[in-house]
Every structure is written in C-alpha cells, then in structure tokens.
Chain A
Amino acid sequence: MEKILELNHITKSYEDGINVIEGLNLSVNKGELVTLLGPSGCGKTTLLRMIGGFDLPNSGEILLHGEDIGQLPPDKRPINTVFQKYALFPFLNIYDNIAFGLRQKKMDKDLIRQKVKHALTVVDLEGFEKRSVDSLSGGQQQRVAVARAIVNEPEILLLDEPLSALDHKMRLEMQAEIRSMHDNLGMTFIYVTHDQEEAMNLSDRIVVMANGVIQQEGVPEEIYDHPANIFVADFIGVSNIFTGVVTEKRRARFAGRTFKTNTELDAGTRIEAMIRPENVEIRPAGEGAIDAVVTGDIYKGTHHEITAEFGKYEVTANGKKKLEIGSTIGIDFPGEAIHLMPHDMDMNVFEGVVNDDGSADFTYFSLAPDAEFLKNAAAGTKIAVSFEPSDADLSDDPEAGFVTGNIDTIMYIGDHYTYIVRGDNEEEYYADDDWLWNMGDRVSVVVPQDKFRYRELP
C-alpha cells in the first residue's frame, strides 16, 4: 500500500519544557481511516494539530508523499480539518462557508457553485445554501463542517473529535455516515477521539496513545483481543487484569492460582494477565477453578454484568442469567482467552507504618529498627518496603527470616529457581534460591538488612 503520510521522530514540547510528544513515528496509508485514540492529555490532539500545521514540531519530520511539510503553515498544506466545535463562520451563510476555501484559491464562480452543490449532496444537506449557521442543529453544523473541508479535495482530512458535542444516538448515526463518506470519497481520514467505542466502529486502524507515546497500533480486533499492555487493555473495553508470573511453559500464576495458557513467554517473566468478561466462564459453585462470591449484578440488556470476589481479587463476568448477590459461583478462565502481557513491575512491595521506637509494622510482618531510614523517619510515617527476589534467600529455620510461609510455586529460570512463598494470609513473596525445595515446604524468607529498600508514601 502507498504511504501518504509519514511522521518521523516527532517531538513536541511546550514552553514549560515538558515533552507532550516524544520521538513519535507513525505512517498512514493512502485511503485509510486511522483513528488516534487515547485519554485527554495523551497528545493525540497535539499530533493532529501538527499534521494540520497549527502547531509545529520541535524536531522530526512530517512527510506528505515523501516531502517534508512539517514547518509549512496550514494554508500551504493540502490538508483540511473538521474542528471539534465545527468552527463555522457565523457571519457567512452555509453556501459561503463551504465556498470559503475555493474562493481563497480564486476559483471560477461557476465551478465553485458546482462544487459546493456537490459537497452539500455528499453531506445530505441539499437546499441549505441560504441558511444561516445559527439556524442549524448540531448535527447539521457538523455536516456543513465536513462539507466545507472535503469540498477542497484535500489529500488528508483531519477530524478532531467531531462528534463529541452530539448526543449518543446522533453520534452513532454520524459515525456510520462518516464511515460511508470515507468509503465513497476514497480520501484519507485521520480521526481523533477519546471514545473507544467510536474508534472501534469507524476505523481501519487504531493508534492508541498515552503520555505522548504510541502504545499500540492495529486493526480494531487486534487491539481488543491482543492489547500490547495493561494501559491498552484497560482503556479498550471492560477487562479483568491480574499481575503475576509465568511459572513454566504454557502456565502462568495470577489471582492466587496457576492457569494453563497458550503463552510462549519464558518462565519467570513477570506479566499482567487480561481476560475479557465475555470469556470468563460461570459455573455452579465448586465446578470452576475458583469459587467466588457474587457482589454485583447489573443488567445490560444483552447480558448480566456480574462482579464477584475471591480473596483480595475481584472479577467481572458476563452472565446469561440473574445471580443472587452473596451466592457462591464457580469461575473459570479458559486458557485460550487469557492474554498475557509482559510487565516490568515491582514484586515484593509491602506497605506499613513506622513506630515510635523506629521499628515498622507491615500488614503481615514487622521489621526491627535497624535501617538508617527507619531511625530517621518520624513515628506514624507511612512507608513502603521492597526487596529484589535475587537478594532474598530461603531458610528452614523459622527464626532466620522476617516472615514464614509455604513454598507454593517453583519456577526454574535458566540457571536458578524462583520460588513463590505463600504467607499465612495468602500474601506472596518471591525469592531466588540455589537450593532445591519441595512444594509445601515451610520456610522463612531471609533478606539482609541492607537489601531492603524503603520509601516514604504520600
């Protein structure tokens, strides 16, 4: 496919020096409908404004058909924009609004008349020429804004959250119309929205952005079924997300259990596991991998959205029938529906409070007042302590470590074993140890005093 637009290493920062967009690369194919999707402040609008020429990138190039247009003003770019609040000229009628761009090009009057008439037909507003902007509804103004842009036959049409001011029903109608307009015109559309449903409905390709960085790009199905990271998974649709670890080939441990998955990730990889509510299986109590207590049931028209709790975890599932709140159900996560995302996360992080004597109490254990940090901290300070699994050792002397528990999971990772020790309150400790332990062994976790890392919590 022919590339129409290429963004290379785009960086944009505002006066305060904070980078809104950093080193961004993106290419758009001719005739494609690409959506930039993300929460407000993710940089999607800034990116669109740079393509339109309203903001200039600090560095990087914007290539249109291979030519750098990055520093050109908007009127020198063959690109037109449909603005968020339409930005129709209130002092011109509909005809003159649409003819504005053509008149700037000093086009022949008869040709202008012909083109404006055609544009009005495209947006289904024949006969509106003499109407004033004020006399139009939001949806009609939206159509005029689209007509005013496409009448110039731009190489690329930019749409900046064009439907955000419309009500829900109108929005759905306009989505369908924009899609069919795109297909009929064969024009390249770049569409900005924060509405994931809108992006799903419209796009050939979705570019998910957060914090000025592209998180993932792909067709809607790919984004939904195989999110690249926890942000995308959480932003698109409803999802259950658990942190955990790959324990061995095709097995992962999360939510306090070990599940079969079809993952290719290596043992020991820290992961986020995602499963969509429609893939969670609800069974009678005792027949699933987990027993959970129903805490909520919201009827959604096509299904019941069930929330259920087990231990410290919560899961959302789509059920066919109403469930009694407080009743126990069985829950299963089918292996093929579990999507694992590698995730660099902190393990062995525990929160607690500093005592008067410089010791610290955590939820499941206490630490003696040895560390400098604890000696200097005021009583009552909320703190977090963490340690690396590689700094922890296991001992069969219950007095040797700061906490005791049972070996719950054994992972062989290349040259060593990583064990998950399950404390008496179902909390988990990760420790690397050279010795071979057996499942269920009672051990204490030993961490040298200087290997604990402390930090103050806000």
Chain B
Amino acid sequence: MRFKRSMLSIPYIVFLIIFVMAPLAVVVVFAFTNGSGHFTFENFFGFFRSSRTIATLIYSLFVALVTTVVCLLLAYPTAYALARSGFKKKNILLLLAIVPMWINFTLRITALKEVLDFLEGNLAYYPFLNTIIGQVYDFLPFMILPLFTVFDEMDKSLLEAGRDLGADRKSLFFSVVLPLSMPGIVSGITMVFLPAMTNYVVLDMLYNSTYIMGSLIGSYFNAYDWHNGSMISAILLLIIVIFSSIGKQKDQNSTIVTPVSPSP
C-alpha cells in the first residue's frame, strides 16, 4: 500500500474519537436518558425548574464575572508594563508573572489558604472574598499572557500615528491602545471566565461551602446520578459554545496564541 499524506492524520483522528468524540457522546447520551435508559428531556427541564440549580448557575456566573473583572484590572497594567519595559530580557519579567503556574495547583492554594488563615484569623469569615482571591491567584497568568502578546506585538508606528494625528497620551489610550488590545482582552476573558465558573476545588479548599457549577456536577456524580450530572455538563458546554462564538465574531482577525485552559 502506498503511503499517502492524508494517512498522517490517522493518529489525530483516533485521538479525537477516543478522547473527544466518545466522551462527548457519552455525556449527551446520559444527559438525555433516565435511570432506566429511556430517552427523556426531563433532566433538561429539571435543571431550569429547580431553584437550587438556577441559584448555583447565577452564583457561578457572579463568581466568574468578579474573578474576570479583577483579573482584567490587574493584568492589563501589568502586561502593559511588562511589554513596554525597556528591560532587555523582558521575557524574564514575564516568566516571573507566569511561574506560579508551574507549581502544583493544590500546593499553591494550600499555601494561599495558610496565608489567608493567618491574616483573617478564620477563613470562614470571608468565604466570598477568599474565593475571589483564590480564583484570581489561579487564573491571573491566563489573563496576562494574551494581553502581553498583544502589547508586545503592538505596531509602534500605530501609536506614533495616533500622536502624530493630534492625540495626547490619554486620548491615545482610548482611541488606539484599547481598540488594538481588544483581541487580547477577548481571549483573556475566554481563558478566565468559563473555567472560573466550574473551578470548585478553590472553593472547597478555601472552605466556601456555596456550590458553583463544578461542585454541582461533582455532587450529582458522587450520588451516582450520572444523568443529571451529564445534563449540567452539557448545558455548561452549550454556554461555552455560545460565549466563544460571540468572542470569535468580535475577534475575527486576531492571531493571539492562548495558553491551554487550566483545569484542576
């Protein structure tokens, strides 16, 4: 048999089937069946009928929103300063911001827990604040990286053109720098917002007993209710698809390389 170029794709296709298609199919099948294996929409409607699950969804969205906003506010000036610094080895500065990602996630949060415990006396006093601190600590690098990339690659002549055409520093920021950094903002948000909705390990470890979407799925699976657990996963997946398609439309020409999404 002659070797064809297209055969190079076989390993990828096999990988795709085993690790992407099959699990997805399993999730969808479980989401739309009941305990006796019959097809049903009950899990879907059940999700929206239960005030508990809806409250969890809203709380998750809120946690994710606050996390994302704080990350953006911290990362934007940081990334700008890093990219624009005159320091010759600015990649080392970037590394310093990224290096926490290399430390084991649980170890990092455990350390953070000790610090917060020491500062606050008892973690239980500020569960929401602690959650946000933990989430931001965890996700900040994923906001910094895409923003650093846009600032680093930003065409200096565009900034000069802005000044040349009469924009002062402040006006230059709003009329040139901000629009140019939009692709970085969009991909940063995608990198942070969606994972922040499900990353319940941070809450668990910091003794925040309120459920977010991730903990909800976990609780169903722990109770062997795979059908409702799968349905929530499927709904989350749907939300992700909707969000990222909006992001893509806003960001058609962007070539920002985003790091792989974190998962605890």
Contacts and interface: CB of A to CB of B under 8 A. Distances in A.
A91 B155 CA distance: 13
Interface in B107-165: 155, 157-158, 160-165
Contacts of A53: 163-164
Interface in B152-195: 155, 157-158, 160-168, 171, 175-176, 179-180, 182
Given A104-B171, A105-B166, A134-B253, A91 B160 contact: no
Contacts of B182: 91
B160 A54 contact: yes
A249 B160 CA distance: 56
A103 to B, nearest CB: 8
A142 interface: no
A91 B167 CA distance: 16
A101 B180 CA distance: 17
Nearest to A83: B157
Contacts of A148: 165
A346 B45 CA distance: 96
Contact of B163 (A74, A88, A90): A74
Contacts of B155: 85, 87
B42 to A, nearest CB: 47
Interface-centre pick from A88, A104, A134 (highest chain B CB count, 10 A): A104
A104 B157 contact: no
Contacts of B168: 73, 75
Given A75-B167, A101-B166, A152-B165, A89 B176 contact: yes
Contact of A104 (B158, B165, B179): B165
B164 A75 contact: yes
B160 A80 contact: no
Contacts of A90: 180, 253
A49 to B, nearest CB: 9
B165 A91 contact: no
Nearest to B171: A104
A279 to B, nearest CB: 43
Given A91-B179, A91-B180, A91-B182, A73 B163 contact: yes
B252 to A, nearest CB: 10
Contacts of A105: 166
Nearest to B167: A104
Nearest to B180: A91
Nearest to B179: A91
A100 B159 CA distance: 13
A81 B253 contact: no
B166 A152 contact: yes
A269 interface: no
B165 A83 contact: no
Nearest to A145: B161
A38 interface: no
A134 B171 CA distance: 24
Contact of A101 (B165, B179, B253): B165
Nearest to B163: A74
A52 interface: yes
Nearest to A151: B165
A80 B165 CA distance: 7
A84 interface: yes
Given A100-B175, A134-B253, A89 B164 contact: no
A81 B166 contact: no
A89 B163 contact: no
A87 B180 CA distance: 12
Interface in A77-108: 79-81, 83-85, 87-92, 100-101, 104-105
22 contacts: A53-B163, A73-B163, A74-B160, A74-B163, A75-B164, A75-B166, A75-B168, A80-B164, A80-B165, A84-B157, A85-B157, A88-B161, A89-B161, A89-B179, A91-B182, A92-B179, A100-B165, A100-B167, A104-B175, A105-B166, A134-B253, A149-B164
Interface of B: 155, 157-158, 160-168, 171, 175-176, 179-180, 182, 253
The 7 A-B pairs at the shortest CB distance, nearest first, are namely: A101-B165, A104-B166, A87-B157, A87-B161, A74-B163, A91-B179, A75-B166
Given A87-B157, A87-B160, 8 more contacts: A54-B160, A54-B163, A74-B160, A80-B164, A83-B160, A87-B155, A92-B179, A104-B165
